[in-house]
A and B are shown apart, each in its own frame.
Chain A
């Protein structure tokens, strides 16, 4: 009688480690109504989080059997281990797998293990191994591939992309309505969301784009490139890049970029790290020096670099370096923000592309959790947050006939601030118009500012 047995009710989730990622996870998952227990060695962190969210906290070592028992591992559906230490995370999940019947997600980010991720995952029976640094590097690499974009997210397993750009002054689309844009320039792209002065809207046809707007559009990679060229953006991938700092993310990024044929130059002040990197990345140019030294940056050619990525461990330093780089060069700059939350201030600084590793990580996990819940009654395949969680892009799988299937989209009365971005029919991406309709077997991606949609029928008003 005391169990919460309602299947719509949410999952029992244990989160070990309350660092940046743990916090972001708690924030999102508790909002979605899951039963969350957090474990951390630091009682102050536990205290803070339990005061803010409706969750239970336990102080202790998450890998210990008795602590896990206290957290209720026997009834847990999922354990997510995101402590600082890779080994502890793996141990937590291994212990949990032995005790309870639950799925396990571990964060593993040391390059030593990165090649063995799939082996580890299979042998330990984990649901997911996430590597924020690697994910952040992948996202950075995607942007450098399409340097005029602020952000590029892959969708429908890489077949479509959600691309974010900022409309510059005097651009052809400045002052154009969405409907006009669709008719005249690009019938195959879809403007999903517009951010203006910090507010996110899902635009209707009569919405007028202004300079300074940040727009997100969905399209296949080829079409996107064509569209950007049509409206006068440069679309060549960069030829070289300069990275400041030689941490884990640098390693992952450099490796990806070199595979794309981009020249990489890394500036790192710690000699030992430089030596390690030079062994791991023999083709990269490794400079031993202070990346915040103006003279050194000039000497190494910041003014002529095509792209510039500050990846030091200190957010403030990254922001300063970005501002400097934007001043002295025309390079595409991508800033990594680990910790700071002053999103509104950062927006005003005009930093260009900003990536937040912790959100990338928590998004991947939230997408998994939603999918896991989906096996218990809803049809969500994946879920992405766009515009810093102000809007969501949700992929639904259509399993059965319902009130939304086989009806022309023009005849569906959709919720406000909601848009059907694309339909994936047998691997073919359709950017829908009013005459298209949803069929059983499709995967439908919608973009919305509403949160908590669980079923495709929730899109109706």
Chain B
């Protein structure tokens, strides 16, 4: 294992976090908040540590998938630990566990909070909280790849470990340019949303943080009631952008280069939109009599569906009060999640497409036992290896999921709470039902349960294996044995 490369890249990640921490410090200075100085302090620590770690170049630039996974998992842990320090030092979230929970929830774009009174936090704290969504949405290592020239072809292993989806491809031959294009699209869409929100009379601070929350499909609001009190126009803007950020970014790349036909033919995106339309339709009919007008029902139905399937987790209404069928649909949507190659979480639409096609193939083989049929997506055959890994992913997901529910249940809360709490964290959504419903939060859990949920959030964001690999003792043995 190339431990010097791991050290080197971790150093870079820390230094970048230090630089990013300067932004909330500026916000703090702008609003005249003293807590802004804390960000300056933490930023300095991160940058110095980062510089120390990157002073010596690694002996070898070559690393393989295992190193890519380890770097990714460790980066996210390091990011979260340092990212939560401002909350702890400022005593705005005094408990370390709570602060870490909040920060992991931010970076993994979950949006599950332990704060009872969000509005009591300083502006710079709220800014950092939302900004973590934006950083975590596209991934910090992808950012690293975009700005730092790392030689060698091993970089793809970093991107593969961090980016969501069953198979990670490139848009252009070089990883660096691919990463840059992704960030350019990401940045462009975010700014567009901010402008549209500001045009709709949203205060600038709210617009910026809400756009961060939408772009990363995170879901931290800066008000206690999430987005309930904003105007209809603003809610629609957010709805549409949530859907947009849940789309595979390949689509935007294809559109930008005028391959409209190819973009529209992307199978995953089509199914994604179909699922949204059907879910909105059913929920809309069910909640017609809850709200005053047809328009309001449609707004809420669409907003909630978009918020859950893209795993954002904003809310405009307490959907815990909705009919059982609607709630069930929302819980199912949690697992489906967004498209691969987007900023959203969940199991991903493309995995489900393959899984369902596998079922169809299996059924077919009962009727024609000797028939041969290849599963294809976008007209291209899916390799057996990919199908196998999707199946294994699904099974592993279920194992992690059920183990977590069991551990959570030790606390004695009701089944729906436990189930949706795990579902909402492992799929990076945020709110669940009952005690963790949209108007409530995760502060009621004990520390042990919070740790389990933190693990779930990271596992969900990194798609299980990069994190699980850290639990293999052989990995640590290898990493520490050749300590340079």
Whether A51 lies near B153 (C-beta < 8 A) is yes
Whether B153 lies near A54 (C-beta < 8 A) is yes
Smallest CB separation, A32 vs chain B (Å): 12
B324 interface residue (CB < 8 Å to A): no
B367 interface residue (CB < 8 Å to A): no
A50 interface residue (CB < 8 Å to B): yes
Smallest CB separation, A7 vs chain B (Å): 16
In the complex, which residue of chain A has the Cβ closest to the Cβ of B256? A2
B184 interface residue (CB < 8 Å to A): yes
In A34-63, the 8 Å CB interface with B consists of 35-37, 43, 50-56, 59
* Total count of chain B residues near the partner, CB < 8 A: 22
Smallest CB separation, B148 vs chain A (Å): 14
Smallest CB separation, B9 vs chain A (Å): 16
B153 to chain A: which residues have CB within 8 Å? 30, 50-55
B173 to chain A: which residues have CB within 8 Å? 12, 35-37, 54-56
A115 interface residue (CB < 8 Å to B): no
Bound complex: CA A36 to CA B170 (Å)? 12
Whether A54 lies near B152 (C-beta < 8 A) is yes
Choose among A1, A2, A37 the residue with the greatest number of B CB atoms under 10 Å from its CB. A2
Smallest CB separation, A136 vs chain B (Å): 29
Whether B177 lies near A4 (C-beta < 8 A) is yes
Q: Name the contact of A43 in the complex, choosing from B181, B253, B257, B383 (C-beta under 8 A).
A: B383
B413 interface residue (CB < 8 Å to A): no
Whether A54 lies near B256 (C-beta < 8 A) is no
In the complex, which residue of chain B has the Cβ closest to the Cβ of A2? B181
B326 interface residue (CB < 8 Å to A): no
A37 to chain B: which residues have CB within 8 Å? 173
Q: Name the contact of A1 in the complex, choosing from B65, B169, B184 (C-beta under 8 A).
A: B184
In the complex, which residue of chain B has the Cβ closest to the Cβ of A59? B380
Smallest CB separation, A230 vs chain B (Å): 46
In the complex, which residue of chain A has the Cβ closest to the Cβ of B383? A43
Whether B383 lies near A51 (C-beta < 8 A) is no
Whether B170 lies near A56 (C-beta < 8 A) is yes
B157 interface residue (CB < 8 Å to A): yes
Bound complex: CA A52 to CA B65 (Å)? 11
A55 to chain B: which residues have CB within 8 Å? 153, 173
Smallest CB separation, B393 vs chain A (Å): 18
Q: A54-B155, A54-B175, A55-B153 are in contact. Are A2 and B184 (CB under 8 A)?
A: yes
Whether A56 lies near B172 (C-beta < 8 A) is yes
Bound complex: CA A13 to CA B374 (Å)? 31
In the complex, which residue of chain A has the Cβ closest to the Cβ of B157? A51
Whether A50 lies near B177 (C-beta < 8 A) is no
B257 to chain A: which residues have CB within 8 Å? 2
Closest 4 CB pairs of A and B: A53-B153, A54-B153, A56-B173, A35-B173
23 chain-A/chain-B pairs, Cβ below 8 angstroms: A2-B172, A2-B177, A2-B181, A2-B184, A2-B253, A2-B256, A4-B172, A4-B177, A12-B173, A35-B173, A37-B173, A50-B153, A50-B156, A51-B64, A51-B153, A51-B156, A52-B153, A53-B153, A54-B155, A56-B170, A56-B172, A56-B173, A72-B172
